[in-house]
Amino acid sequence: MSKKTRVTIKTVAADAGVSVSAVSKVLRNAYGVSESLRENVQASIAKLGYRPNTAARAMRGKTYTIGVLVSDLANPFVPDLIYGIREAAEGAGYRIMIGVGRADRANELDLANSMLDQQMDGLVLIGPHMSADEIMRFGVQMPTTCVAYHADEATSFDTINADDVRGARLAVDHLIAAGHQRISMVTLDQFKSPENHVYYHREQGYRASMSAAGLDQYIDVHHLSDPIRRTNDWAHKYLQSSDLPTAVFCWSDLDAIQLMSAARQIGKDLPQELSIVGFDNSSVGELLQLGLTSVSQSALDLGNVAAETLVSRINGRTSAVHTLLKTELVARTSVMTMTPS
C-alpha cells in the first residue's frame, strides 16, 4: 500500500513550475489561465498521470459522481436501465456509482444516506421502497430523481416512468381486440403505499380497459407475494384450476415467462389454450424466443431521461419534473385470435 508515490495537485504544480491554484484552475476550466500555462500544466498532468482526488474534491466542490440506488438487481430490466443512466451521465461529465439495497425501507434509507455522506452530486432511485415523504426529505438535501416510482405531486424530487396505465391498457385492449373476454391479471402484493408502485398503475390500466369494454364481471386479479421464487409454484397450481380464463396479462415479463414455462411443462398448448401478455419487453424474453407479446418500455430511454433530468436539477432547476414515457405494444405469437363463435 505504498502511498508515498501518490501524485497530488502539488506534485503537478511543482513539476509545471506554477502555483497550486493555477493547476486547479486548469482542472476546472476556470477563467484566468493563459493558453501556454494551460498547455504546460496539462503536459505535466499527462506526464505524471495525475488524477484529482475525488474525496478531497468533495469537500469544497463537486464529486462529478451520481449515485444510483437499486433494490432489486435480479430483475433483468435493471441492467438496461443502468446502462441508459450511465450513457447520459457520462455524456454530461458524470460517473455513476451503484448501491444495492435489500428491497426494504430501512436499508434503502441507510444506503441513500451513505451516498449523501459521500457527497455525491445527485441520486437516482430505481423503484425505491421508501415513502414519498422520506424521499422528499432527501430531495431537499440533494438532487434526486426516481425511476419506476410514481409520485406526481412530489415537489422536491423528479420522477421518470413509463406510462404504466396506458401500457397496461394497450396490453388488455390488444387481448380484447383479439376476441378475449375472460382476461385475468397477475401482479404483486401491494403492502404499503401502493399508489407509488408501477404494478399498481398497471392494475389500474387493466381495470380501466376491462370496464371500458364492459367486462367488469371478468375482472380477476392475482396478487403474488414473492416476486421471484413463488411464481413457479403458483403457476403450476393455477394452471390446474378448472375455470382458467382465456388470457392472462402479467405485470412483468418475468412472471409471464414463468407462466409460459409452467404451461408448456404440463403440456398446455400455447397460445391455443392460454394467451399471455407481459410487460417490459425484456431482453430475457427475446433471448428465449418464446414469442411473448409484451408492452415495451425502453429501459435505455428511461435511464437516459432520468440522468438528463437529474443533471438539469444539479445545474440548478428547482421545480419538479414528472415525466411519463411512451409505451408500445410488441405483438408476437403468445396471443391467440379468437374466432367469433
- Sheet bearing 275-280, strands edge to edge: 221-224, 183-188, 247-250, 275-280, 293-296, 328-330
Task: Choose between 1 and 192: whose C-beta lies nearer to a copy of itself.
Answer: 1
- When CB distances are held under 5 to 8 angstroms depending on the partner's kind, the choice from DNA, a copy of itself, none that residue 63 binds is a copy of itself
For 183-193, letters b (16+ CB in 10 Å) and e give: bbbbbbeeeee
For residue 312, give Cα distances in angstroms to 47, 122, 145, 301.
35, 10, 11, 16
116 binds DNA (CB under 7 A): no
Cell of 327: 409505451
Give the Cα separation of 39 and 111 in Å (integer): 41
With CB under 7 A as the contact rule, the residue among 14, 42, 48, 57 that binds DNA is 57
**Which string of DSSP letters, residue by residue, matches 223-258?**
EESSSSSHHHHHHHHHHHSTT--SEEEESSHHHHHH
25 binds DNA (CB under 7 A): yes
Site string for a copy of itself, 253-282 (x = CB under 8 A): -x--xx--xx--x-----------------
Site string for a copy of itself, 66-105 (x = CB under 8 A): -------xx-x-xx--xx--x--------xxxxxx-----
143 binds a copy of itself (CB under 8 A): yes
Give the Cα separation of 21 and 43 in Å (integer): 16
- When CB distances are held under 5 to 8 angstroms depending on the partner's kind, the choice from a copy of itself, DNA, none that residue 190 binds is none
Give the Cα separation of 287 and 320 in Å (integer): 38
* Footprint of DNA (CB under 7 A): 6, 8-10, 18-22, 24-25, 27-28, 30-37, 50-53, 56-57, 59-61
Per CB under 8 A, residues contacting a copy of itself are 1-2, 5-6, 51-56, 58-59, 63, 65, 73-74, 76, 78-79, 82-83, 86, 95-100, 111, 113-114, 116-119, 140-143, 228, 232, 254, 257-258, 261-262, 265, 283-284, 287-290
